[in-house]
Chains A and B, each alone.
Chain A
Amino acid sequence: MRAAAAIVGASESERIGVVPDESALQLACESALAALRDAGIDRAEVDGIASLGEPPITVAHALGITPSYIDSTTVGGCSPLLHVRHAAAAIAAGLCEVVLITHGQSGRSRLGGEWPMRGPASPEGQFELPYGTGPAVTKFPIGVLRFLHETGTTREQLAMVPVQQRVWASRNPRAMMRDPITVEDVFASPLVAYPLHRLECCLTTDGGGALVMVSAERAAALDRPKPPVYLLGAGEASEGPMVSMMEDFTSSKAFRVSGRRAFQEAGLTPADVDHLMIYDAFAHLPLFGLEDLGFVGRGEAGAFIAEGHTLPGGRLPLNTNGGGLSYTHTGMYGMFAIQESVRQLRGEAAAQVPGVEVSMCHGVGGMFTAAATLVLGTQATLSR
């Protein structure tokens, strides 16, 4: 599977953030058309479709595509990462040749593409919803106090996550929030779900994105102005349907399993990673990610971020678009994390890190329900 397939087209919707004049479906379709133009591939050649938001059949029909490979995997915001992994496997197995992966969500303007709520007879309906849970913020941060308690991480270090990411966002004209902030600003913002303040929670936005994937052979023969981005390794995993059933509230089993598998397949270690994206719906996720993926030891992530190692010029640039906390978060953010990995590997990011050859993109789905990890690399990494 290593480097069997490559991303040869990538685009976000022209506008992200507040887009009240486009539906979720249109955001997906607009992105898809742009990604196909980017790849120089005609829609008649697309024989595989994946989508998060509006279902793949809806998107395929809207675009006039008749797919013979369909992936509707919907396990939360990391789903596009799973779509990439599945597409690579499908291409390698000969199920299809050109896969279009789309996402469109109108999280802010609410024009279609809604996330289905679990019914009252589901495990969540019986054992969580009666306790007044609702949106992600009422569930996702429930382990934070235990994490701080057991690892010795401080609330100041937690607050440094949005502070440091805002530094990246300030260099990105497309980021929704670009003004620098301090720990004091974080603490002064309203409590949403103690211990998290508003500035430790992601944005709610509209936006879309799409990717085009083909075999590595075909990618090499395409001769496009932008270089292919190869999938060197990938992993996926799930833990459970409810955050309350996590085995350990201070570490994600799905993160550990998915990350290990991705590194294994790529034949790489954390030391080989030049650039990192960790899905940041809330401030604690990059801390869990850094520790569970093996970039730092247990309890070291807070200090690692506070000391500036993930900033511009630092040894592990992290969430360089500004992340879900400052760039954009449509409700299911994974596509935007992949897009930033692709831009960094192509050398076209707004806040470009010099010399990125290996980028890791790690996503979460649901409330630690699922995870997926991609190790993406340039042509130069194929011989590593």
Chain B
Amino acid sequence: MTPAKAVPQPTPETLPYWEAARRGELCLPRCTACDAFFFYPRPFCPTCHGTDIEWRQVSGRGRLHTYLINHRPAPGFQQEAPYVIAIVELEEGPRMMSNLVGVEPTPEALPLDLPLTVEFAERGEWKVPVFRPVAP
């Protein structure tokens, strides 16, 4: 049996993020006092330590902030190596690690700041946000 890709284990604090992702929605916590989204999820604001946090679906649009093309595949990734490990800057501000889909893993196809949109990929019983380039 081929090894599976690593599966996240939600904690009570991150569960809303993972439940939304499983529904196909990218939801992030937002501090109402700071009027700002943040990532990764915490039940308090990393900037003001306020606890008035709401979960909101974000646009799913972002840009390719930086990346590498990995030739040393992790378990479960052998078939798709080399593959892109990217930092995506979301339109709403926060940055997150992700993978890119629907694009050749070549430098020519991947200029920095390339516009992206979210979709979801299965990891065990959960889904993780991944990103696909869109026409600018």
Measured CB to CB, the residues of B under 8 A from A are 5-11, 14, 18, 40, 65-77, 82-83, 85, 87, 95-99, 107, 112, 123, 128
Contact = CB atoms under 8 A, between A and B. Distances in A.
Contacts of B87: 142-143, 146, 244, 249
A193 B96 contact: no
A141 B67 CA distance: 8
A370 B98 CA distance: 23
A152 to B, nearest CB: 13
A130 B40 CA distance: 14
Contacts of A192: 71-72
Interface of A: 119-121, 123, 125-135, 137-139, 141-146, 149, 190-196, 242, 244-245, 249
Contacts of B71: 190-194
A63 B66 CA distance: 47
Contact of B85 (A135, A142, A146): A142
Given A131-B85, A132-B77, A244-B97, A138 B70 contact: yes
Contacts of A139: 85
Contacts of A120: 6-9
Contacts of B73: 132
Contacts of A133: 74, 85, 97
24 contacts: A119-B9, A120-B6, A120-B8, A121-B11, A127-B8, A127-B96, A127-B97, A128-B97, A130-B7, A130-B128, A131-B128, A132-B85, A134-B72, A137-B70, A138-B70, A138-B85, A142-B67, A143-B87, A144-B68, A149-B112, A192-B71, A193-B69, A193-B70, A195-B68
Contacts of B40: 123, 126-127, 245
Most buried by A among B14, B66, B98, B99: B66
B126 to A, nearest CB: 8
B11 A130 contact: no
> Which 10 pairs of residues, A with B, have the shortest CB-CB distance?
A146-B66, A194-B69, A244-B97, A120-B9, A129-B6, A121-B9, A126-B8, A132-B74, A132-B77, A134-B74
Nearest to A123: B40
A128 B88 CA distance: 12
B123 to A, nearest CB: 5
B68 A126 contact: no
A132 B67 contact: no
B112 A145 contact: yes
Contacts of B82: 191, 194
Contacts of B11: 121, 126
Given A192-B71, A193-B71, A194-B69, A130 B8 contact: yes
Contact of B68 (A121, A142, A190, A242): A142
Contact of A242 (B10, B76, B97, B98): B97
Nearest to B97: A244
Most buried by B among A121, A131, A146, A242: A131
Contacts of A143: 66, 87
A150 B107 CA distance: 17
Contacts of A191: 69, 71, 82
Given A138-B74, A146-B112, A149-B112, A126 B10 contact: yes
Contact of B98 (A126, A131, A145): A131
B83 A132 contact: yes
A128 B69 CA distance: 15
Contacts of A126: 8-11, 14, 18, 40
B131 to A, nearest CB: 11
A137 B72 contact: yes
Contacts of B7: 120, 130
A36 B31 CA distance: 55
Contacts of B112: 145-146, 149
A119 B10 CA distance: 11
A297 B74 CA distance: 37
A82 to B, nearest CB: 25
A128 B11 CA distance: 15
A132 B9 contact: no
A138 B40 CA distance: 20
Nearest to A193: B68
A132 B83 CA distance: 9
Nearest to B81: A132
B125 to A, nearest CB: 12
Nearest to A142: B68
Contacts of A146: 65-66, 87, 112
B68 A141 contact: yes
A130 B74 CA distance: 9
